[in-house]
A and B are shown apart, each in its own frame.
Chain A
Amino acid sequence: MLSGFPALSGLDLEIAQREVALLRGPNGAGKSTVLRLCAGLVPLESGTASVLGHDVEGDVVSVRRKVGILGHQTNLYEDLTVADNLKFWSSAARAPKVDLASVMDRVGLERRLGDVRVGSLSAGQRRRTAMAVLVARRPRLWLLDEPHAGLDQAGRDLLDGLVAEAVQVGVTVVMASHDHDRALAIATCVVDLAGGMNLAQVKSPESPTHASSTPGNPTGVDTAQPSSGPSSGPSTGPVPRRAPASSPVERSR
Chain B
Amino acid sequence: MLTDARLVAGKDLRLEFRSRVTTTQVLPFVVAIVLLFGFAFEPDADLLVEVTPGLFWMTVLFASMLSIQRSFGIESADGVRDGLRLSGMNPSGIFLGKAAAVFVQLIAVEVVLGFTVTILYGAPIDGLGVLIVTALAATAALAGAGTMFGVLAAGLHGRETLLPLLFLPAVAPVLIAASQAHGLALAGDSGSGLRWSALLALFAVVYVSFGALAFGPLLEES
Complex interface: chain B residues within 8 A of A78 (CB): 77-78
Scan A74-108; emit 1 where CB is below 8 A from any B CB, else 0.
Answer: 11111111001000110111100000000000000
| Structural contact, A92 and B82, CB atoms closer than 8 A | no
* Stretch from B10-18, B30-38, B60-68, B185-193 that touches the partner: B10-18
Given A73-B79, A80-B15, A41-B74 contact (CB < 8 Å): no
With A61-B88, A92-B7, A92-B89 already in contact, the answer to whether A75 and B15 are too (CB < 8 A) is: no
State which residues 70-99 of B face A: CB under 8 Å.
74, 77-80, 82-83, 85-90
Given that A80-B14, A92-B7 are contacting pairs, would A64 and B85 also be in contact in the complex, using a CB cutoff of 8 Å?
Answer: yes
Whether the pair A77, B7 counts as a contact (CB closer than 8 A) is: no
B82→A41 contact, CB < 8 A: yes
Tell me, in angstroms, the Cα distance from A140 to B155 when the chains sit together: 32
Contact residues on A (Cβ < 8 Å of other chain), bracket: 20 to 34
Interface centre among A39, A68, A78 (most CB of B within 10 A): A78
Contact between chains at B7 and A91 (CB < 8 Å) = yes
B80 A65 Cβ-Cβ under 8 A: no
Say whether, besides A69-B82, A80-B15, A94 and B88 are in contact (CB < 8 Å): yes
CB-nearest residue of chain B to A72 = B79
Bound state CA distance, A222 and B208, in angstroms? 56
B158 to chain A, nearest CB (A): 14
Q: Which residue of chain B lies nearest to A69 when distances are taken between CB atoms in the complex?
A: B86
B87 touches A64 (CB 8 A): yes
Given A41-B86, A92-B88: A76 in contact with B78 (beta carbons within 8 A)? yes
B88 touches A65 (CB 8 A): yes
Question: In the bound complex, what is the Cα–Cα distance between A43 and B217 (angstroms)?
Answer: 13
* Contact status A75-B78, CB under 8 Å: yes
- Which residue in chain A gives the minimum CB-CB distance to B88? A65
Closest to A90 in B: B87
Cβ contact within 8 Å between B11 and A88: yes
Contact A64 B74 (CB under 8 A): no
Contact A89 B82 (CB under 8 A): no
Q: Is residue B126 contacting chain A, with contact meaning CB distance below 8 A?
A: no
A18 within 8 A of partner (CB) = no
- Give me the 10 closest cross-chain CB pairs, A-B, nearest first: A73-B79, A65-B88, A75-B83, A92-B87, A79-B19, A75-B79, A64-B88, A73-B78, A64-B86, A88-B11
Q: Provide a sorted-by-A list of 20 A–B residue pairs whose CB atoms are within 8 angstroms.
A: A64-B87, A64-B88, A65-B88, A66-B88, A69-B82, A69-B86, A71-B79, A73-B79, A74-B79, A75-B82, A75-B83, A77-B11, A77-B77, A79-B19, A80-B14, A80-B18, A84-B14, A92-B87, A92-B88, A92-B89
What residues make up the interface of A, taking CB atoms closer than 8 Å to B? 39, 41, 43, 61-62, 64-69, 71-81, 84, 88-89, 91-94, 117
Q: Other than the known A64-B87, A74-B78, A76-B80, what 9 A-B pairs have Cβ atoms closer than 8 Å? A: A41-B86, A64-B88, A75-B78, A75-B80, A75-B83, A88-B7, A89-B87, A92-B87, A117-B18
